[in-house]
Amino acid sequence: MSGMPCVILISGRGTNLQAILRAVAEEGLPLDIRAVISNRPEAAGLEQARRAGLPSYVLDHTLFADRETFDRELQELIDRHVPQLVILAGFMRILSEKFVSHYRGRLINIHPSLLPAFPGLNTHRRALAAGVGEHGATVHFVTEAVDGGPVIVQACVSVLAEDTADTLAARVLAEEHRIYPQVLRWFAEGRLRLERHSGRDCAVLDGEILEASEHLLPGEVKQ
């Protein structure tokens, strides 16, 4: 398979993994997926990886004494595959600063909220509890600040009066599946980079810094 060498990390169902695999197969997304790694043995996404013929690995975090030991073993496993990009696709682990620093500029995550709103877990329930009118998904570079790295792009959905956490999550997930492959294409084609400007980390697309007002894709509020 031609394309940018990458490794994908998952923890659960692997729906974003599936969206990426579909984009590779059907839309020519230029990625060479060299491994799929899960920190949870029961992750359903592992079976998707196997069906796609991809090398898949389990590194159970519960078997390690601390976060640093797990991250060191994870880093060694990833680096065996010599990736130019590490993709977090529903990987439910806070990563140590040393790990993040090792992959600086080539570690990308997708988060189910419009960051900086609702970092962490249970974003859909929290959005409903807060009474916000819009919710969504964010693709961002990973830095030492948890869910605080430079935003690359966001897509939003309207929060409806009758929404539950599940119905809201389903609409946000559809947006995740749309925007993540697009961002990965930008990176694989050399158009997207993480750079330092004026003492801050910035996402740079086609040589232009992505400012906050540009993160939300125009016309993407969906009912």
Check whether the bond before 218 is cis (ω within 30° of 0): no
Burial code (b: 16+ CB inside 10 Å, e: under 16) for 94-103 equals ebbeebbebb
Catalytic residue among 61, 81, 111, 177: 111
Q: Where are the beta strands (DSSP E) in 128-176?
A: 134-141, 151-158
Residue 66 and residue 93 in contact, taking contact as beta carbons nearer than 8 Å: no
Residues whose CB is less than 8 angstroms from the CB of residue 83 and which lie 6 or more positions away in sequence, other chains included: 5, 6, 7, 34, 106
Clarify whether 111 is annotated catalytic. yes
Instruction: Tell me the β-bridge partners of 155.
Output: 137
The answer to whether the Cα torsion of 162, 164, 168, 171 is positive or negative is negative
Residue 185 and residue 173 in contact, taking contact as beta carbons nearer than 8 Å: no
List the catalytic residues: 111
